[in-house]
Structure 1
Amino acid sequence: MTATAPVLSSTPRQSLRRARGWIVLIVILLVGAGIATAIQLSLATSTLDPMGADNPAPQGAQALARVLQEHGVDVRTASTLEAARQAASERDDTTVLLSDPSGFLDAAQSRTVLGLGVDVVAVGPGFAQLQAIAPDVRLAGHPVRTASSTPGCDVAAADRAESVAGVDTAFRVTGDAVGCFPLGSLYALAQARSGDTTVSAVGAAILENDGIQKAGNAALAIGLLGSHRTLVWYLPSAADATASGVPTIAELTPGWLTPAIILLIAVVVAAAIWRGRRFGPLVVEDLPVVIRASETIDGRAQLYRRASARSHALDALRVGALRRIGRLCGLPPNAYVDQIVIAAAGLTGRPLVDVREALVDSTPGTDAEALATASVLEDLEHEVRLAVGGATDTLGRPAPEGTEPPAGGAQTPPVAGPLGSPATPTNTTRTSAYSDEE
């Protein structure tokens, strides 16, 4: 009887269960992509530009544009001067709304707008734009009073509105210009003639979605923009600035910048020549004077004494003594100080404490104490040499074979001590404590 082998392949239900997490993730991604696409499509059908005819935001003007369309006005939007020119097919029956808060248009382009319609409404114009299209109207900034219930002029649209509220921009008028809705000495609406074109200047807050319903703002806006069959809603863009010629870098650069850069380069080059390294072969020069070792020792001793550097001078003697004693005891050059101290004490029979006191621990407080410690170091080194039974030369090194130690100790001339005072005459063995270190 043959046993049936178990089935190892997964069933569709098991595969679906294992892939459940990936399926949920894919669904979430698809839903997110759909939401993002819907938002982009909604943004594509409306503009967020201030005073946009299809902008439903508080700063937009969608409400005004729809009301004008309901009154039979053909609202044509344009974002470039060329598009505005094409939209204004019949000048005698066209009104142009001009809103250029970013200042894309220059004076010549602003004056060109005057030829597109018989009425031009400048919304929130700047100083340069008013100077170009309505020289008798001056921008006065934000008024203290923001409402007025007196038209104060013979403009039909102002008479029908009777009042305005929420004014954010005021104007001054001179010459033949007319001011409406007085705010003290300023006006919420200014109107002037430029050739055969009537130019009206008004603040943006009166026409925006957030302020159109206040007082008579809607009636004023409809009266200014709905008097003709065609309304060109012109919001200049960066394309107008490009078409007029963007200033070059040379035009934007101040005149003093180029000479300053040239001067800076010249200064850097001069500094490099003045303080830079001189490349060339190394030259070996002989010393003009040969200084004897004894003079160097005397000079260093005088410096130590003048600075009262007793500890420094004594440390120099101790380093030399430790090196020579370690060599006499057969210790390696890297031997520890304690090893040298123990070896010296064992060879000389001196107490370990006294040997360590001389080689390491004592701190001189006066010149006399320093000289006494130096004398102890010489005696200790001499005793070590005698203990090992080796003859040494004047530097404490083992003498050549067959050389006898000097009988009775040969005398040497006095040598200046490390503290500046002449040392007592010593034999060659005792003097080596100074000469080898120096």
Structure 2
Amino acid sequence: MSLLAGSAPAPADPAPASAGAGPGSWRRHRAMLLVGLGFALAVALAVATNGPARTGEPLDPDNPGPEGTRAIARVLDDQGVEVQVVRGLEELGSTRLGSGDTLVVSSTDLLGEGVVARLREQAGPARVVLVEPTALAASLFGVRLQGESALPDGETEGWEAGCDLADLDGLRLDVDAATTYLDPGATSPPRGACFPADGAGGPGALLVERDGVVLLGAGQALTNDQVLRADNAAVALRLLGGGPRLVWFVPRLDDLGTQEAVGVGELLPPWIRPGLWVLALAALALLLWRARRLGPLATEPLPVVVKAVETTLSRGRLYRRAGDRAHAATALRTATRRRLTARLGLDRREATVTGTDPDALVRRIAEHTGRESDAVAALLGAGAAPPTTDRQLVQLATDLHTLEEEVRHP
């Protein structure tokens, strides 16, 4: 035993798990590691070459897209105008403007009463340019004009300046959509107007200047995709580059306080309120017309419940009064066929109530009771003769009843 045990070869020591796991793990995860490394390098390269901050807001100097105004901001900077972008009232508080500076305000739909008060206080003697302001924003700056969609002037493309404001005479604006500002009910453009344009409410202008405040209704003339159309670039440079410094203010939503929230009534056009009153009165009249009572409520008796036996007796009386023994016999035979079919367990498709195959029922009854098939057919067959007298009808009913008893108790 000791020799056998000593002659057995000693088992080899197992290799360490870590020795073979390292290369195999690297081979299994090599592709994922390479993909992750490449993604990290791409992100680092994008961050390094991204350049200035970008945004997608329309009329924003940091927006390089079609609706942005980065192109005009850079051209003004190349022309020696210091362009400073200010976002929100907090940044505006640390900005000082002088008499030769220009303050441009975009996203004017975010202007509230408190924001405008701070803007006018910070602007001081600087010139203020409002890009496509609403009627509410313009009134907060002291310019009470109504804004409407501009209508094209005949078949000509764009609008001629027709004024010498900021050396704009002879220039032409060409945009896809614009807003004209006008005095409701006036027969001529408002005072201090350039680029006359008619609206639905009368003659107006795309650019109006009142007491150092400029309303520019053609904001698309400043955008990257339309600044090179017609004389849009020249109009923008002369309007915004008249001073050594341009402060571009971009309002933020959080600048509005809780008390400056715009209500639905302020967003509705003035002409819609009379229409709403007319609709309300029409709806009230319709309710009064359709809801009026035509008289006392009509009472209707409930339907009478009639027992089945009464219905059967009434039908029998009708048959007796009319002397229609054939129909009475048919009703008796039909009821007997229905009951016997269910009693004998026949398929209703073979022996239906209407008698599509009455011979099957007759044969089954004859086999079950021991009667002759002809005798059963004379009672229930399709060619059974109808009774001609009341005595025969009574006898038929008795015979059918007897047949049913025989089927139940053979």
TM-score, structure 2 normalization: 0.60
Q: Deviation per CA, 1:61-80: give whole Å up to 9, x if none.
A: 00111122233433332332
- Is 2:156 the partner of 1:156? no
- The aligned residue for residue 393 of structure 1 is none
Alignment of 1:265-344 (within 5 A): 298-299=313-314, 301-302=316-317, 313-320=332-339, 342=364, 344=366
Counterparts of 1:292 and 1:176, CA distance in 2: 92
Which of these residues, 104, 110, 119, is aligned with residue 110 of structure 2? 104
8 A contact 1:51–1:204 mirrored in 2 = yes
1:139 & 1:164 partners in 2: Cα distance?
18
Task: Establish whether residue 217 from structure 1 lines up as the match of residue 232 from structure 2.
Answer: yes
By how many angstroms is 1:121 displaced?
0.7
1:180 lines up with 2:194 in the alignment: yes
Offset, 1:187: 3.4
Q: Is the Cα–Cα contact under 8 Å of residues 78 and 87 in structure 1 kept in the other structure?
A: no
Counterpart mapping for 1:45-60 below 5 A: 45-60=53-68
Distance in 2 (alpha carbons) for counterparts of 1:140 and 1:170: 5
Cα pair distance change 1:350/1:11, threshold 3 Å: same
Whether the aligned pair in 1 keeps the contact of 2:105 and 2:128 (CA below 8 Å) is yes
Aligned-residue RMSD, C-alpha: 5.2
Q: Equivalent residue for 2:5?
A: none
Instruction: Check 1:91–1:335 CA distance in 2 against 1; reply closer, same or farther (3 A cut).
Output: same
The answer to whether 1:206 aligns with 2:206 is no
Specify every segment of 5 or more residues in structure 2 that has no aligned partner in the other structure, as ranges: 1-7, 184-188, 268-275, 277-306, 352-359
SS at match of 1:92: coil
Contact 2:73 2:83 in 1 (8 A): yes
In the superposition, relative to structure 1, how do residues 301 and 384 fare at CA in structure 2: closer, same or farther (>3 Å)?
closer
Alignment deviations for residues 279-338 of structure 1 (CA, whole Å, 9 cap, x no partner): xxxxxxxxxxxx997x67523534788996875553333345567xx6xxxx8xx68787
Aligned amino acid, residue 203 of structure 1: A
Paired position in structure 2 for 1:345: 367
Match of residue 75 from structure 1: 83
Letter in 1 for 2:370: T
Q: Deviations over 1:30-85 (max 9, x none)?
A: 6568767877995992111001111011110001111222334333323323433x
2:121 to 111, 115, 120: 115
Among the aligned pairs, what percent are the same residue? 22
CA contact (8 A) 1:88 1:94 kept: no
Q: Distance in 2 between matches of 1:346 and 1:28?
A: 89
Letter in 2 for 1:314: R
Residue range with higher mean Cα deviation, 301-310 or 56-65? 301-310
- Contact 2:150–2:180 (8 Å) recurs in 1: no
1:217 CA drift (Å) = 2.4
Q: Is the 8 A contact 2:112 2:260 kept in 1?
A: no
CA spacing shift, 1:61–1:349, aligned 2, 3 Å? same
How far the C-alpha of 1:89 sits from its partner, in A, is: 1.6
Structure 1 Cα separation of the partners of residues 61 and 263 of structure 2? 34
In 2, are the aligned partners of 1:151 and 1:162 still within 8 Å (CA)?
A: yes
8 Å Cα contact 2:197/2:205 also seen in 1: yes
Match of 1:147 among 152, 158, 163: 158
Cα distance in 1 for residues equivalent to 2:117 and 2:11: 96
Aligned twin of 2:24: 15
Equivalent-residue separation in structure 2 for 1:44 and 1:369 (angstroms): 115
| Equivalent-residue separation in structure 2 for 1:128 and 1:151 (angstroms) | 25
CA distance in 2, matches of 1:347, 1:304: 32
**Bigger Rg over Cα:** 1
> 374, 379, 382: which is aligned to 1:362?
382
Q: Distance in 2 between matches of 1:179 and 1:322?
A: 102
Q: Unaligned stretches of 5+ in structure 1?
A: 255-290, 389-395, 399-438
Counterpart secondary structure, 1:223: helix
Contact 1:76 1:87 in 2 (8 A): no
Partner SS for 2:227: coil
Q: Shift in Å at residue 369 of structure 1? A: 12
C-alpha distance in structure 2 between counterparts of 1:237 and 1:38, whole Å: 31
Determine which of 91, 102, 105 is the counterpart of 1:95: 102
Distance in 2 between residues matched to 1:199 and 1:188, nearest whole Å: 10
Query: AA paired with 2:68?
Result: G
Would you say the 8 A contact 1:97–1:232 is kept in 2? yes
Deviations 1:239-264 (A, max 9, x none): 13345444799x99x9xxxxxxxxxx
Partners of 2:263 and 2:179 in 1: CA distance: 35
Alignment TM-score, normalising by the size of structure 1 = 0.57
Deviation by residue 1:132-191 (Cα, 9 ceiling, x = unmatched): 32536443423315434x5432323425x8443337325355697312244575534221
User: Contact 2:167/2:238 (CA < 8 Å) preserved in 1?
Assistant: yes
SS at 2:151's partner residue?
A: coil
8 A contact 1:345–1:355 mirrored in 2: no
Match of 1:127 in 2: 135
Task: Tell me if the contact between 1:87 and 1:232 (Cα under 8 Å) persists in the aligned partners.
Answer: no
Q: Judging changes above 3 Å, is the alpha-carbon distance between structure 1 residues 88 and 67 closer, same or farther for their aligned structure 2 residues?
A: same
Q: Does residue 1:165 correspond to 2:143, yes or no? A: no
SS at match of 1:190: strand
| Cα distance between partner residues in 1 of 2:162 and 2:308 | 112
Would the alpha carbon gap of residues 368 and 29 (structure 1) be closer, same or farther in structure 2, given more than 3 Å must change? farther
For 1:175-234, what per-residue CA distance to the aligned partner results, in whole angstroms no more than 9, with x for missing partners? Answer: 9731224457553422111xxx33342411111111222343223222222333442212
Change (3 A) 1:68 1:371: farther
